[in-house]
Structure 1
């Protein structure tokens, strides 16, 4: 996984898409604004068709797949050669599937115990989710304090005005957020607004 691109983008757009025809224009708009990564979630019936559309286009954006919660989804992501997967929470069975399929992953955690469990399984970058509901920046500081070698991608309820507070933490590589490619802009195919949002995100 190219962590440099995550750091450069600062905000990873978390997007639920159900139209494969939108995948490439969206990715183009994000790249034009300086964001080189996207997390497409498995929250829509045609999510894998959207992911496949980006793969078939050989698009240069770094492709992550989120809301991965079972072995079958891990296997399918591996078959599509996505760049990384993201889980909302992480069980031992899910980690087994991730490692068996040799796919890069950012496993989801929300407690110190879960974070330590991921360190034990060899991960040094995790998703803190749901960030705001789980205590926000204060909770993340507390979790990360005794785990100096662990890095985080906080996601969940983080708005544009919250991003800087998270990025100021040395343990935070990037922040996941849906506001860069919000539902209204996507519905209207308003690529210029998404590009501007991406520029704002990378300027934070």
Structure 2
């Protein structure tokens, strides 16, 4: 039986439209030249502590994982198109950055812990990029991580007899996180690998100054 998955972006957009992306602006904002579009003022509200399971089954925290500039994405491996496309884009941006000498990585956090085992995540991330890390956990742990990053997801209940074939609506932003500075910016789906690499490089260079 073929599986049909639909990521309902409209719901995610509606939820995230109400999220204000607070950053420090003006002279104190060392990243001002790197940002795309207008942003509000204040302290960053995206990101925070989490406790999840990596691809080897080991429990890790945000400080264990985000040890360098990191692209963070919430999705699921059974997603037929959106997640593979977004993460392939993230992987290509990482390759471009690494070719320029930048030390970066990517994290894929599953919002489908029922199906996304550590082994399943390892297959997905290793196919995308050797420096992409897959994380899963209990439903409670995944929910806590999602809330910290202000993301949205919702599982559709499967029809009887099709328990393995269900949809998960989810938001599709990619977040740039730094180990000490935390949230730097987010990237929409329409950003190209080259544009993403350029902006990430800008943030890394600015953070080093």
Interval of TM-score (by shorter of Structure 1 and Structure 2): 0.3 to 0.5
The structure in which a higher percent of residues are helix is 1
The structure in which a higher percent of residues are strand is 2
Which structure has the bigger radius of gyration? 2
Higher RCO (CA 8 Å, separation ≥ 6 residues): 2
